[in-house]
């Protein structure tokens, strides 16, 4: 059973066991939320949103139609998402942009994620970053606009360039574009 605070408005019945939804959060009817998630206070989750298992969504995050979040993702406080490339008051697109956060992504506080991007598995988006295009797996992206600053392994350890490829402390090789 999910644990839903008495001061949250949760219309969806598609919420996995062990998920906690805190006060002053709103979850619309068709949203899907996996198991063991932590949805902090002051969040809004629209209808066409799918959230995997073990996801943490910190306070002040609004998830609009078209957002897909895979499992084990962390979204820091006040991260902003968009879903309409040409927003106009009272004019809606035929379909909203689809934004995908692959498994094990972490997004730092205050970042802005433009609609239609895919953030690759194990990527880390630094606090305050503006993501305007797809992010490859294992990337550390910082700045405005966001740029790849480093690559990390599955545990979040920085990889080093070895002349031919990136390599972990354990000797595992990763073949990414050199930065």
Over range 145-174, report the average pLDDT: 95
Q: Which of 28, 40, 25, 91 is nearest to 64 (CA)?
A: 28
For the entire predicted model, the pTM comes to 0.96
* Cβ 114 vs Cβ 129: under 8 Å: no
- Percentage of the chain beyond pLDDT 70 is 100
Contact 7, 22 (CB under 8 A): no
pLDDT at 178 over 90: no
Q: What is the mean pLDDT of the segment spanning 115-139?
A: 98
Using 50, 70 and 90 to split pLDDT, how confident is the model at 18? very high
Interval 24-39 mean pLDDT: 98
Going by the DSSP 8-state scheme, the letter that residue 73 receives in this structure is -
* pLDDT tens for each residue of 43-52: 999 999 999 9
Residue matched to tokens 């498994």: 103
pLDDT of amino acid 179: 82
85, 117 contact by CB (below 8 A): no
């Amino acid at each position: 059973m999910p644990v839903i605070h008495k001061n949250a408005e949760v219309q969806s019945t598609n919420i996995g066991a062990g998920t906690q939804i805190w006060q002053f959060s709103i979850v619309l009817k068709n949203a899907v939320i996996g198991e063991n998630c932590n949805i902090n206070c002051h969040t809004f989750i629209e209808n066409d949103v799918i959230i995997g298992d073990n996801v943490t969504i910190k306070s002040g995050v609004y998830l609009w139609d078209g957002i897909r979040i895979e499992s084990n993702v962390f979204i820091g406080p006040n991260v902003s998402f968009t879903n309409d490339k040409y927003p106009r008051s009272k004019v809606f697109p035929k379909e909203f942009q689809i934004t995908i956060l692959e498994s094990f992504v972490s997004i730092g506080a205050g970042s802005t994620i433009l609609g239609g991007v895919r953030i690759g598995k194990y990527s880390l988006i630094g606090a305050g970053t503006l993501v305007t295009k797809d992010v490859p797996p294992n990337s550390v992206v910082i700045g405005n606009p966001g740029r790849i600053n480093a690559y990390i392994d599955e545990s979040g350890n920085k990889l080093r360039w070895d002349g031919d490829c990136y390599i972990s402390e354990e000797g595992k090789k990763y073949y990414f574009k050199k930065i």
